């Protein structure tokens, strides 16, 4: 059985919950399409994230990697196209604030997702799930994870589908922050559909 590493994030900043943690907890251990799901929930900590993803890829030897993050203010699933070699923005969960540093000094400026984005977009639309291909994963932890994940796979010459997906807030966050939100059920269903449709890649 093939293995899919599914990563989510803990709560951060003003968000008391993170819908990606709930997705990982509910899909962990399941068999979806071709894959057995191995779930990991990561801390929102710049200084730890590169080592965490590298260690998990080394230990688990996944056949695909799908990483998830919450993006407040979006109202569709965002299939991220590219990660850039920089970190910037607000404080992480340890209080560290990035200031435009490179993730890897000699790394490429950008690295493209190796998920079949167009195929996943069609699959979600077929199920009436709002989706967009996004051309920026930002400069916070999600971009950092996407970059270090793809950079590591390239370095190790591991030719597997991997990439990052941003999800909208769940209603709990939507109500607290007055931002557009989805039910947790719809968010989890969207990720389930994405994994099901990775099998033909
Ligand atoms: N979203 C943040 C980091 C953790 C998360 O779930 C981001 O978009 O960078």
107 CB under 6 A from ligand 1? no
Q: Which atom of ligand 1 is nearest to the CA of 8?
A: 6
Q: Are 97 and 37 in contact (CB under 8 A)?
A: no
- pTM summary value: 0.98
Q: How large is the angle between the packed helices 184-196 and 19-27, nearest 10 degrees?
A: 50
How much of the chain exceeds pLDDT 90, in percent?
98
Tell me, what's the pLDDT at 200? Answer: 43
How large is the average pLDDT for residues 58-70?
98
Q: Which atom of ligand 1 is nearest to the CA of 9?
A: 6
Q: Which of 18, 137, 26, 14 is nearest to 6 (CA)?
A: 26
Q: Are 59 and 93 in contact (CB under 8 A)?
A: no
Q: Give the residue numbers annotated as catalytic, written as ranges.
A: 142
| pLDDT tens-digit series, residues 177-192 | 999 999 999 999 999 9
| pLDDT tens-digit series, residues 85-109 | 999 999 999 999 999 999 999 999 9
For the chain, list the domains and their CATH numbers.
2-196 (3.40.630.20)
| pLDDT tens-digit series, residues 19-47 | 999 999 999 999 999 899 999 999 999 99
């Amino acid at each position: 059985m093939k293995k899919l590493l599914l990563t989510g994030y803990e709560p951060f900043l003003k968000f008391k919950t993170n819908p990606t943690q709930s997705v990982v907890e509910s899909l962990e251990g399941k068999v979806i399409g071709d894959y057995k799901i191995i779930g990991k929930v990561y801390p929102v900590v710049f200084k730890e994230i590169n080592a965490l993803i590298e260690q998990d890829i080394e230990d688990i030897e996944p056949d695909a990697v799908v990483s998830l993050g919450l993006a407040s203010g979006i109202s569709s699933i965002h299939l991220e196209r590219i990660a850039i070699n920089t970190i910037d923005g607000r404080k992480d969960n340890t209080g560290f604030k990035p200031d435009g540093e490179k993730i890897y000094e000699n790394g490429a400026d950008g690295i493209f997702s190796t998920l079949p984005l167009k195929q996943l977009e069609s699959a979600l639309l077929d199920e009436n799930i709002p989706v967009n291909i996004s051309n920026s994963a930002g400069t916070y932890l999600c971009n950092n994870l996407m970059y270090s994940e793809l950079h590591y796979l390239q370095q190790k010459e591991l030719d597997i589908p991997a990439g990052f997906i941003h999800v909208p807030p769940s209603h709990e966050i939507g109500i607290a922050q007055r931002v557009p939100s989805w039910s947790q059920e719809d968010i989890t269903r969207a990720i389930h559909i994405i994994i099901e449709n990775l099998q033909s890649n």
